[in-house]
Chains A and B, each alone.
Chain A
Amino acid sequence: MSNEKESKPVKVPKGADYSHSPKKAMLLSIIPGFGQIYNKRRIKGILILTLFLAFAVVMFNFVTSGLQGLITLGETPRIDDSRVFIIEGIIAMFFVIFYAVMYVVNIKDAKAEAIKIQNGWSPGGLKENFKNAWDTSFPYVMIGPGLLLLIFVVILPLLFMAFMAFTNYNLFNAPPRNLLQWVGFENFIRLVTLSEWRNTFFSVLSWTLTWTFVATTLSIALAMFLAILTNDKRLKGTRLIRTVLILPWAVPGFVTIIIFSALFNDNFGAINLDIIQPLFGTSIPWMSNVMWSRIAIIMIQVWLGFPYVYALFSGVLKGISDDWYEAADMDGASRWQKFREITFPHLMFATGPLLLTQYTFNFNNFNIIYLFNEGGPAVRGQNAGGTDILISWVFKLTFDNAQFSMAAAISLILGLIVATFAFFQFRRSRSFREEGTM
């Protein structure tokens, strides 16, 4: 909790105290607070010691029983609820981590202050120290509430899910009636070895990847085409055109998807009745045939997804200086060359990381899959429908089949894939790296 701005590197510090040893301060800090007392900051030391002791006394029971529960998952069915045990275990882990971090901070603080004393710094009065402590801890106070909520609402469920993937929680073995057991990687092994699971898993996975790639790329391509088209200076009424082209983004997605699912209805949807039948004399089974369902969903997603990218692209295009194109004209470049050498790189450079988020978004685009026809049509020999992507399959496993552990295992795989995406995004967003080195 020291204020580092005050320790200026001076060659021969006034009142330097070389007998004061940072090593000693660190060693004493093994009992929290003692190092600070050695640094002649008694009140701070006593405060730290009291806080650490109080925390240890209050939390000891909870932490030990929590961690124990996490290992055993309970002993008597109907009384011990394994789910509660896991949750308490995770919270206990949070406390242990928090305690450990604080412990390290305490030792480092004692060391840093001892070095400063060695260089001639002497702790000021109580009031000044208090102010310094407030200054350093202020950002943490500000982040505190948000972080706390984040830990309990986002991180805790994610960890809970990760733990659940290694238990045997399903319809037939459900707490509080039964106890859960740790089963190691059994769920994952079953997923790739049992034919019934394996077939479903790999067909869903391959469709998820195809879907993500095709739907997103098509939206981006359409957006790029329209953005370049409407950037043409000869065109009149571009304001209106732009507004209309962005409209699909502005209308709530669930509304449009439900509308589309009605339009695509096999028997009385307007697309079959008014367009396909008069033109081709037949109707297309949009809902009941896997391939047609997939095509319909991709088309709808392009409708929903292109406007946002279009708006991004339009913004970038407006910013490209005419000089580039004039110079290209001087060299007699063709349109295609201008597009390839000027427009395309500009667009990609400015929006690259954002386009990547479009892919991750579609990868987990539960809304459209579920609202169109709930992942249907059913496929023989699978417990996922023909258009189910991983996340909608997880939903089915959770709410229809109560295969909680399996759902968690698949979610975990899903998470790993997203994390890989995230990793690439980190690397690509240049500005973030700059930010990190600040």
Chain B
Amino acid sequence: MSERVSEPVSEPVSEGRRGGVRHVEHVMGTVFSFDIRDPATPAIGRALKEAVAWLHHVDEVFSPYRPDSAISRLGRGELSVERCGPEVAEVLGLCEAAERATDGWFSHTAGGRLDPSGMVKGWAVERASAILYGAGAHNTCVNGGGDIQLRGEAAPGVPWRVGIAHPLLPGALCAVVTGRDLAVATSGTAERGPHVLDPHTGEPATALASLTLTGPGLTWTDALATAAFAMGPAARAWTEALESHQAMGVTATGDLWQTPGF
């Protein structure tokens, strides 16, 4: 969610060099990049507009930085969850499930404030990806500020290739992940400093510079990445036990590790 309420900035939809569609959207205080490799069709064009509108809708409902958002009003006790609508109930339900699945390392109330942002972006991206898929865009990359939902492949027979930003060397990569139908989420301090709170201490987690998790869907992958990042030194053993996800960590001192499945 946004650090501040930003003006929606929409850049024109453009046709990619390979006949697909690309679009960049500033929303939620970050930037969403759409890369559709399927040939442009009117249905895909409409779906892209719908997906963009969806992201702005999510920002309006869930931003903790907007005083009038449903989440802000819920946090102040001005609205009940029921009055917030089914999306809020869905996200808060996911948050609670993640909290249980991670022994409290994922928390939407860390710091004593209702803030489901750790769940919302991945969930919103996965939904945006699904909107495109429903319109026939089966080979897409939706990147929400560095967290990615991939569908299909980059080209027939060619998997997607995702560079993992090196958290300590701005502009450099530390790895490349290759795959199809894949979600890739990275939590780290490189862009906004230590901002993921250890729910158990309320202090920012600083043992890791970044933690990258891959999995099938970004909603869960993103939430688990945030939790694992907060775990710090315990993240390695914890992610090794995850069956459907692989992880790579870079410690604050620059050491790199990865789960054996990678």
Q: Do A and B come from one complex?
A: no
